[in-house]
């Protein structure tokens, strides 16, 4: 692997976005996992307001929308993802209650206690799990829910290579009990947590990228940065294959108290 880029944050964000606009999901997950997390959330009705923060192109949002009443607003920093999201919503006949807008999860356009549910798959890390849970809480009604996925360690000790990879990528990665304690401290009852199955990474994230990588490399033929990005993402997949016993994504679901 190229030695210059040790961390995903060192790549051009526009390039990362373009790469991920070729894939249905921008992070590990699956419709089954989205539905499992949703099964812990009650009280939703046709008046409910849901926000999906860091929604990407909306793979998980469309699953949510097809299985919940109420309206959903997706928020993402990147216009291209928002455009693809709204196209998908229209194709599925969901545009009347599902819409994405460009915005940032650290500057939300909601009123106090306006939301019944905040959803965020593979995205809260952008501002940090602890900060996100604390800042988002005021927008959720009492008795409303937050549901996020977050990279987490499975073991108290890890081999140095994977430890270093994650400390560069996301130093807030921690063991599951610590993540749950942070949720409690932020003012939520931790209702459920579960580990995403391996297939969410292998089949739904890494395998889908193989096709995308081909198109991307054709488009950016001769572009060193694009080559390095693909190498980095291939390296990420190899690390997962080698060290998947030590880490993964975990769904954390909490109810605002």
Ligand X SMILES: C[S@@+](CC[C@H](N)C(=O)[O-])C[C@H]1O[C@@H](n2cnc3c(N)ncnc32)[C@H](O)[C@@H]1O
Per CB under 6 A, residues contacting ligand X are 25-27, 29, 54-56, 59-60, 75-78, 81, 104-106, 121-123, 126
Tokens of 193: 């947590």
Least distance from C-beta 120 to ligand X, angstroms? 7
CB half-sphere exposure, 43, CA atoms < 13 A: 11
> Which residue number, 103 or 159, has a Cβ lying nearer to ligand X?
103
> Which residue number, 36 or 157, has a Cβ lying nearer to ligand X?
36
Tokens of 105: 């999860």
Least distance from C-beta 26 to ligand X, angstroms? 4
The two beta strands, 247-256 and 98-102, are unpaired
Least distance from C-beta 25 to ligand X, angstroms? 4
Which stretch of DSSP H or E encloses residue 243?
A: helix 224-243
Least distance from C-beta 212 to ligand X, angstroms? 13
> Which residue number, 47 or 80, has a Cβ lying nearer to ligand X?
80
- 211: helix, strand or coil: helix
> Which residue number, 31 or 70, has a Cβ lying nearer to ligand X?
31
Query: How far lies 150's CA from each of 27, 177, 211, 245, 253, in Å?
Result: 11, 13, 26, 16, 11
């Amino acid at each position: 692997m190229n030695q210059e880029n040790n961390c995903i944050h060192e790549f051009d964000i526009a390039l990362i976005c373009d790469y991920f606009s070729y894939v249905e999901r921008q992070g590990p997950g699956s419709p089954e996992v989205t539905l499992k997390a949703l099964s812990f959330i009650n009280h939703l009705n046709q008046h409910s307001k849901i926000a999906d923060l860091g929604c990407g192109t909306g793979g998980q949002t469309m699953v949510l929308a097809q299985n919940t009443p109420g309206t959903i607003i997706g928020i993402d920093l990147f216009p291209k993802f928002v455009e693809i999201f709204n196209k998908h919503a229209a194709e599925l006949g969901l545009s009347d209650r599902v819409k994405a807008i460009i915005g940032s999860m650290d500057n939300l356009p909601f009123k106090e206690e306006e939301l019944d549910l905040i959803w965020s798959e593979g995205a809260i890390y952008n501002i940090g799990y602890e900060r996100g849970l604390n800042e988002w809480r005021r927008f959720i009604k009492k008795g409303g829910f937050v549901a996020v996925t977050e990279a987490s360690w499975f073991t108290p000790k890890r081999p140095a290579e994977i430890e270093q990879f994650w400390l560069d990528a996301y130093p807030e990665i921690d063991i599951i009990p610590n993540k749950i304690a942070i949720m409690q401290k932020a003012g939520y009852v931790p209702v459920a947590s579960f580990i995403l199955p391996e297939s969410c990474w292998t089949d739904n994230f890494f395998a889908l990228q193989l096709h995308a990588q081909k198109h991307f490399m054709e488009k950016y033929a001769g572009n060193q940065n694009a080559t390095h990005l693909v190498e980095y993402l291939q390296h990420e997949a190899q690390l997962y294959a080698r060290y998947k016993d030590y880490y993964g994504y975990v769904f954390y679901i909490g109810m605002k108290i």
